[in-house]
A = this chain, B = another copy of it.
Amino acid sequence: MSQDEHPLQSTTITESNVPLLEGLTTTRAIRRYRDEPIPEAHLRDMLFAATRAPSGSNRQPFRFIVLTDSANAHKAKSLIAGSAQEIWAQKEQNDGYSKGSGADPNSPKSRMANTMRSYVDNFATVPALILPCLVRYRAADPMEGASVYPAVQNLLLAARALGYGGVITGFHRPVEKELKSLLGIPEDIFIASTVTLGKPQGNHGPVRRRPIRELVFADAWEHSPAWAVDPPGTRFTSAGPPKNKT
């Protein structure tokens, strides 16, 4: 096959009709996937977009390990699935997901718990598992994430553009050593997160956050400017896991 005929030689395989600003405000964490593999051309486009992100001095210390259907991929998925199931079972109990409003199967709390349970139970069969990694050039530093997480966000946004969705987790952390051994990742590499990707069973759409006056200040800490007003129709959520644990 000559280079000219290669399907990956087109500039962009799939045209996305989502405008940039709309994409930024409507990319949800997607945890339920259809049982469909992601074509290599789409993986290429997503990873290409991820690697366009900025990094300190343009050092590009980010690396992405893509795991879909190989023996290693299945082993890595199973390894992290086990960790995910343990972490979630613990969190579900600690954060009281089945108590309080969690007893009502239609409450947001119950629905979140159901989504998470289904996510960890099906983790071993996610269409694609990506491990974004950071090659450090100096000792670990709190600002080093500025050279890898913008690329992770680009990955999630590119997935959105191409009709996919995903979510960032830290479920690899308890099995980091085994993962490094399985995939030949050098000891000094930081596995920055676990990202799962696939065709959403649900839909993207406006996300819920705290009112922006609680998040956006001007001129001084906790001084919210008059212009920090959410657009009409914005729906809100409080921050973090359930507060009501009883």
Chain B residues with CB below 8 A from A43, complex form: 227
How far, in angstroms, from A45 to B16 measured CA to CA in the complex?
22
Given A153-B150, A167-B54, A215-B64: A23 and B25 interface contact (C-beta under 8 Å): no
Across the interface, name the chain B residue whose C-beta is closest to A232: B9
Residue A144 CB within 8 A of the other chain = yes
Given A215-B51, A231-B9: A170 and B143 interface contact (C-beta under 8 Å): yes
Give the size category of A's interface with B.
35 or more
Residue A246 CB within 8 A of the other chain = no
Residues of A within 8 A of B (CB): 6, 8-12, 15-27, 29, 40-41, 43-45, 47-49, 51-54, 56-68, 70, 72-73, 137, 140, 142-146, 148-150, 152-154, 156-158, 160-162, 167-168, 170, 173, 183-186, 189-190, 192-193, 207-210, 212, 215-222, 225, 227-233, 237, 239-241
Q: Could you give 16 example pairs across A and B, Cβ below 8 Å?
A: A11-B232, A20-B20, A21-B158, A24-B154, A44-B228, A51-B212, A51-B216, A57-B240, A58-B239, A60-B210, A60-B215, A66-B218, A66-B219, A137-B240, A142-B144, A150-B152
